[in-house]
Amino acid sequence: MHGDTMNSSRHESDFLVIGSGIAGLTFAINASQLGTVNIVTKKKEFDSNTNYAQGGIASVLSPDDTFESHIEDTLRSGAGLCNRASVEFLVRKGPDRIKELVEWGTRFSTSESSRGSQNLDLGREGGHSHNRIVHATDLTGREIERALLDKISRIPRIRIFEDHTAIDLLTEHQLKKPAGYYRRQKNRKVNCHGAYILSNRTGEVMIFNAGITFLATGGVGQVYLHTTNPDIATGDGIAMAYRAGALIADMEFIQFHPTTLFRKDSVGRCFLISEAVRGEGAVLKNTRGERFMEKIHPLKDLAPRDIVARAIDSELKRLGDSHVYLDITSKKKSFLQKRFPNIYEQCLEDGIDISADPIPVVPAAHYLCGGIVSDLDGKTTIENLYVSGESACTGVHGANRLASNSLLEGIVFSHSAFLAIRNEMARSKAPARIPDYPPWNREGTFDFNEWVLVKHDMDDIKRLMWDYVGIVRSDMRLQRAHKRIMFLAEEIHSYYRKSIVSSRVIELRNLATIAKLIIRSAIMRRDSIGLHYNTDHKETDSETANVVLRTGYQPRFIRLEKTNPMDGKWVKVPANPAQPK
């Protein structure tokens, strides 16, 4: 915490939701039945991974499909690291959550059946054995978010704070305790009572207290040079939870979307060409016009994303090219304009008529399969702190997420968290007392005007991660990345301690934390599995487990499916020179 103590305004509610994608909004709607809800979001208007989701939501809604098939597709894609109980829970709860979205006003695409009735139009994507992708043309995320925000606007118990950035969670760490207090508290459970929140507009740091804090802060894509994620995807929730002592797992599994629109000299957020395009028959070709996926995988162009991304990366390196092509010219223009209106128009703006020209594409960082360890009810290892969506590690994605399981995860586990909290509130006689947290302290800080230095460090992190911790990794690259990130992290920590807090410095601090977690996890894993491919360790360990991290401790291998990490026990292990604290 910084220091010159100022009177901070306080906001109290029964629930504090940090993040406003599908996971946060669906939880807020349900939680409003139980009490007041404050939603804090960095974004202005539409800006979240949910909003940019083109493909859709995977769910078993066709009579030709089965839960068992969706479960097996998910487990296969996860390369042996999925938690089967979590996967079964996700898949079996999915259809009811889709119906709920429809009831709340989401307008999914429909098609006419042979009997003349309108049914949900189900698409197909890589790794799926059946058509089960519910979508709204190629703007599914935007349509879902529109419907949820419209419903929230009619619920008086919910208040949204836009253009606000969460700094840190409120736990016992911010309370003044006698020396040695924490050492005397064996197996002490850390409690969360809200967060310090910055108003980006006024610069004021406020205290948001709540009985339940719900993290739905999305992904970490901005830690990479090229990403499909919006600017706000800086891993804030995971970084805050890690600093507070929560367990974090599977950070090495970064999914690179195989097909984003290639533009010369493009840096930052890339325009995604949905996997649904391949689901409708598009094929990948190199610059010589040769199809290459046929030799790589039985599913060819519909292989899981990690396999397609590595295949494209291999072709780029083999031929020295900057991109490959995605060809869907076999389809009529009228079909493409109806099925993919957003993609069609965006490509046309770049001078590409996808009905006549192949689309130049390149992989980009897209999705984090790991995150804050939680159980089936979204509960973390910190009391009163819940998580859902891309910030969570529920075990459903394993080493590689199956396409369109992400939005499904958000709605399913947000709902299960609501049910668990409702049951707990019914059993409890009175809410727990929230401590009196000190106001934000600015003593010793100054207005840090050297934004060029902050920007330079941010660019360094992005390029470092892209070059050394990308689709293909090696021991040498990872060790070099670790040495560099430790130096950068120390420099950034100095910025943070000395400067008046701002959203830019907060995000830089969080990106440095996220980069460290990814690199440490990747070094710890001495094999190749799913999205983690190390050229020095190409084989998969038959006893593969999850890499789990906790602040102040060395990383550990824990098989989350067979162990209960929620019991709060954590044993220190001998220091590993390659894994400093």
- Stated as kind and residue range, the H or E segment containing 557 is strand 556-558
User: How many alpha carbons fall within 13 Å on the CB side of residue 498?
Assistant: 10
Query: What is residue 59's DSSP assignment?
Result: -
Coil/strand/helix, residue 51: helix
The closest alpha carbon to 387, from 244, 520, 519, 512, belongs to 244
For the beta carbon of residue 111, count every other beta carbon within 10 angstroms.
10
Q: Record the tokens describing residue 85, joined without a space.
A: 């109980």
Q: Record the tokens describing residue 379, joined without a space.
A: 């509960």
Contact 531, 399 (CB under 8 A): yes
Sign (positive/negative) of CA torsion 206, 210, 213, 214?
A: negative
For the chain, how big is the Rg over CA atoms in Å? 23
- Stated as kind and residue range, the H or E segment containing 524 is helix 503-524
User: How many alpha carbons fall within 13 Å on the CB side of residue 531?
Assistant: 32
First to last CA, the chain: 21
**What is the number of residues in the chain?**
581
Could you tell me which residues come within 8 angstroms of residue 118 by beta carbon, excluding any fewer than 6 positions away? 110, 111, 112
Q: Which residues pair with 261 in a beta bridge?
A: 361
β-pairing, 392-393 vs 371-373, is parallel
**String of DSSP letters for 173-237:** GGS---TTHHHHSTTPPPB--EEEEEETTT--EEEEEEEEEEE-----GGGSSEESS-TT-S-HH
AA letter at 148: L
Contact 512, 501 (CB under 8 A): no
Distance CA 469, CA 477 (A): 7
Contact 252, 482 (CB under 8 A): no
Angstrom distances, CA of residue 380 to CA of 95, 227, 566: 25, 28, 7
Per annotation, catalytic residue among 305, 310, 520, 550: 305
Contact 233, 223 (CB under 8 A): no
The closest alpha carbon to 159, from 10, 21, 11, belongs to 11
Distance from chain centroid for Cα 450: 30
Region for residue 499 given its phi and psi (left: phi exceeds 0; alpha: psi -120 to 50; beta: otherwise):
beta
Any catalytic annotation for residue 142? no
Coil/strand/helix, residue 321: coil
Active site residues: 305
